[in-house]
Amino acid sequence: MKKTVTRLADGRELVYYDLRDDAVRDAPDRRPLGPVATTSEIRRDALLGDAVAIASHRQARTYHPPADECPLCPSRDGRLSEIPEPDYDVAVFENRFPSLAGDSGRCEVVCFTSDHDSSFADLTEEQAGLVLEAWTDRTAELAELPQVEQVFPFENRGAEIGVTLGHPHGQIYAYPFVTPRTTLMLRSVREHRAATGRNLFDDLVERERTEGGRVVLEGRHWVAFVPYAAHWPYEVHLYPVRRTPDLRGLDDAARTEFPQIYLELLKRFDRIFGEGEPPTPYISAWHQAPFRAEGRHDFALHLELFTIRRTSGKLKFLAGSESGMSVFINDVPPEAAAERLREVASE
């Protein structure tokens, strides 16, 4: 992998990740951009104890542009975009409309490929491996920022999810606090350690591998399963067999196998609802340990992949119980979801 760091016209950082060591990335950003103005503010909810990012400047962000005006495509044919080069492998840049900025954290956009009409599932194993290297490198770089407590790489795919740019891409949020979901996980891990002397993540993964009924896909270094208490109609958790707190700790064997396992999972997601169905909308989320939290080394890196589509033409909406009380009601038994995801395996 070759890494090239440069700047956009308004001073934002842009990083190219290339498969070829001889790749040259020196095209300047010729757009007449003014400085980025953000209004990001973190407010604490006194009742719940969690944080809310207030970011009114995001109301002006780019919204469903036509394909020939996509800001994530490379700059070519006289049209200038966020990426000055006429082609690229993987590109990461600071979001012009960030939810988090300055002392309130940082937001980055990760472009998986220059092909606008592609998707992550269409990448080759080599390309997917490069994205993994980019996620890992960004985690390492963002960990050095004093205001950052936790790094969250994720992908939203599909209009149903709320995606406003069709180009295959994800984001990275670098939070200045430990997120509520991670705080709950760390609490459960501490309680399990105190009660049993064992690691909760290790026990969960071992249970799924032993029982087997919810395991979707297993390699030598990764295991994917539908969790026992899945919140979403089709939800898969992907764990490295050797526990590590974040992406930086993956060994070479796990890095090599990851593209094979992950690409297969994404292809199965697109086949869940049968032939002729539009691509399955999904959220793919990396859960990593906070950098300075108590119990960090008991945390297990894992990826959670889920869709809000519950059956053909129908979505799972977060209604009264889910939105009002955070109590999920799942219409698809996890065992049935796992069986379906095994049925649609690639031949």
Active site residues: 169
Q: Is 70 annotated as a binding residue?
A: yes
Q: At 146, list the tokens.
A: 């004093």
Give the largest Cα separation in the chain, rounded: 64
Query: Of 180, 132, 101, 112, which is closest to residue 1 (Cα–Cα)?
Result: 132
192 among annotated binding-site residues? no
Q: Does the annotation place 73 within a ligand binding site?
A: yes
C-beta separation of 247 from 135 below 8 A: yes
CA distance 271 to 202: 30
Strands (E), 261-324: 282-287, 302-307, 309-311, 314-315
Tokens coding 97: 């409309």
Measured in whole angstroms, how far is the alpha carbon of residue 294 from the centre of its chain?
A: 24
CB 70 within 8 A of CB 82: no
Q: Which residues pair with 25 in a beta bridge?
A: none
Single out the residue of 250, 232, 213 nearest to residue 309, CA to CA. Answer: 232
Identify the CA nearest to 148 among candidates 96, 95, 101, 91. Answer: 101
Q: Which of 132, 137, 177 shows the shortest CA–CA distance to 155?
A: 132
Query: CA-CA distance, 121 to 118, in Å (whole number)?
Result: 8
- Within 13 A of 50's CA, how many CA atoms are on the CB side? 9
111 annotated to a ligand binding site: no
Binding residues: 70, 73, 116, 167
Binding residues for Zn(2+): 70, 73, 116, 167
